[in-house]
């Protein structure tokens, strides 16, 4: 992404409501701001538009190459086989976008009839517009399809979860260092009526994540944490205690907990000001895989990774699938196939920044390709 997107400004319907709220109640936390901008029932970004694709604001790995979804489909089959081929088996996707990943996964499943006979697909999606897109993409689904609002609504029993670029959109809480204390980082209104970041209330040690208490932070440093991850991991752990569970999380982020402001906005495939046009731009922040791994381990889940996305896909057979698709392809198709595969795996594109983390029930075999030497 290059230059910043030119936006109309902050006078969106949601912006006016937010300004009224801040004037009435005072500054709101960054996490609250992000939650409202993305999920407000009337004007939230994900509730009112279809953001993915060339005509949207960003593209995800499944939109870049069909190989991504196909490999994840075959990965799910291998995990099911390692579980002992339970029937029924639920494959759930968290935040399924336009349904592209699942459509590609199902195409791969057609080569494994026994799996297709056993699988039910659960799509965890809260956006009405994205649900419509998913229904269109999966209109000829080879497996039963159900939609759910939360992971808590999924059927009981053996479960495989796939979550691609799901975690980064969960609200991120930001703390800012001021002298020897941490303060909540908030969104306020300046004298000109514009949204600005501002330090909020001082936080007691008991209100801080353990990592924030332990880290040596200079004045002005920002520490990020994601409260919404805890209930998600707790739900997975509760299920894993009574039935086999394997969950795969793919997202961009860092392997070690650290300091820094990673909140970013994207509009029309360009970076934008996170405080501009609330409800009309995408807001995300990097995933702290170390924090996620530690929390999952403490809940009794076995953790594999994080592994760079490029390494993960190459070990699953990206190059072989790419070469297979090239046979009989037109010159234009060949260029798209090669460039798409390269973008997924190249260190200079998505190959290193994006990482893959697997969480599984204790006692299950290591999921591919994490057990490879």
Residue pair 70/63 in contact (Cβ under 8 Å)? The answer is no
CB 126 within 8 A of CB 135: no
Supply φ then ψ for residue 134, to 5 degrees: -65, -40
Note the pLDDT of residue 111.
95
The pLDDT assigned to 262 comes to 97
Question: How confident is the model over 161-196, as pLDDT tens digits?
Answer: 999 999 999 999 999 999 999 999 999 999 999 999
More confident position, 271 or 10: 271
Region 91-102 average pLDDT: 96
How many angstroms separate the CA atoms of 102 and 90, rounded?
13
Q: Would you say residue 4 lies in a domain?
A: no
Residues 268-301 pLDDT 10s: 658 889 999 898 888 999 999 999 999 999 999 9
What range does the domain containing 342 cover?
Answer: 48-171+226-358
Residue 82 lies in a domain: yes
Residue range 331-342, pLDDT digits in tens: 999 999 999 999
Contacts of 335 (CB under 8 A, 6+ apart): none
Residue 69 lies in a domain: yes
Tell me the pLDDT band of 9, cut-offs 50, 70 and 90: low
pLDDT reported for residue 366:
95
pTM of the full structure: 0.93
Residues of the chain with pLDDT > 90, as a percent, come to 81
Q: Is the pLDDT of residue 150 over 90?
A: yes
Nearest by Cα to 357 from 312, 310, 327: 312
Contacts of 212 (CB under 8 A, 6+ apart): 175, 182, 223, 225
On whether residue 78 sits in a domain, the answer given is yes
Q: Is pLDDT at 19 greater than 90 in this prediction?
A: yes
**The predicted structure's pLDDT at residue 11:** 72
With beta carbons less than 8 A apart as the criterion, state whether 238 and 273 touch. no
For residue 105, being part of any structural domain is answered with yes
Give the contacts of 240 (CB within 8 A, at least 6 positions apart): 300, 301, 360, 361, 362
Is 50 exceeded by the pLDDT of residue 373? no
Is 112 a domain residue? yes
When divided into structural domains, the chain yields a total of 1
- pLDDT(48) > 80: no
> Which position has the higher pLDDT, 367 or 57?
367
Residue 124: inside a domain: yes
CATH number where 58 lies: 3.40.50.12710
Residue 34 lies inside a defined structural domain of this protein:
no
Calculate the CA dihedral of residues 53, 166, 105, 66 and round it to 10 degrees.
30
Quick check: 361 pLDDT over 80?
yes
pLDDT of residue 102 exceeding 70, the answer is yes
pLDDT at 46 over 80: no
């Amino acid at each position: 992404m290059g230059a910043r997107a030119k936006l109309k400004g902050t006078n969106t319907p949601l912006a006016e409501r937010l300004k009224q709220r801040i004037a009435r109640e005072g500054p709101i936390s960054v996490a609250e701001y992000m939650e409202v901008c993305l999920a407000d029932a009337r004007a939230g970004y994900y509730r009112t538009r279809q953001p993915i694709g060339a005509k949207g604001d960003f593209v995800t790995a499944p939109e870049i190459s069909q190989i991504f979804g196909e490999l994840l489909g075959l990965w799910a089959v291998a995990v099911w086989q390692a579980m002992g081929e339970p029937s029924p088996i639920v494959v759930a996707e968290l935040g399924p976008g336009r349904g592209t990943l699942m459509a590609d996964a199902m195409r791969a499943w057609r080569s494994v009839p026994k799996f297709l006979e056993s699988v039910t697909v659960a799509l965890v999606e809260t956006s009405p517009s994205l649900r419509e897109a998913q229904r269109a993409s999966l209109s000829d689904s080879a497996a039963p399809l159900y939609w759910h609002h939360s992971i808590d609504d999924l059927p009981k029993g053996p479960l495989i979860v796939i979550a691609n670029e799901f975690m980064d959109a969960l609200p991120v809480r930001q703390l800012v260092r001021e002298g020897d204390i941490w303060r909540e980082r908030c969104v306020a209104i300046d004298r000109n009526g514009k949204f600005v970041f501002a330090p909020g209330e001082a936080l007691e040690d008991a209100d801080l994540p353990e990592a924030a208490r332990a880290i040596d932070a200079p004045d002005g440093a920002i520490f990020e944490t994601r409260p919404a991850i805890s209930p998600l991991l707790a739900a997975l752990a509760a299920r894993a205690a009574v039935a086999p569970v394997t969950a795969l999380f793919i997202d961009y982020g860092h392997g070690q907990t650290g300091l820094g402001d990673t909140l970013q906005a994207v509009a029309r495939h360009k970076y934008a000001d996170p405080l501009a046009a609330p409800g009309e731009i995408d807001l995300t922040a990097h995933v702290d895989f170390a924090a996620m791994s530690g929390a999952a381990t403490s809940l009794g889940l076995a953790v594999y990774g994080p592994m760079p996305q490029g390494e993960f896909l190459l070990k699953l057979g990206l190059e072989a699938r790419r070469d297979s698709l090239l046979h009989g392809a037109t010159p234009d198709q060949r260029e798209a196939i090669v460039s798409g595969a390269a973008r997924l795996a190249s260190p200079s594109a998505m190959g290193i920044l994006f990482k893959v983390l697997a969480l599984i029930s204790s006692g299950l075999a290591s999921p591919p390709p994490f057990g490879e030497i």
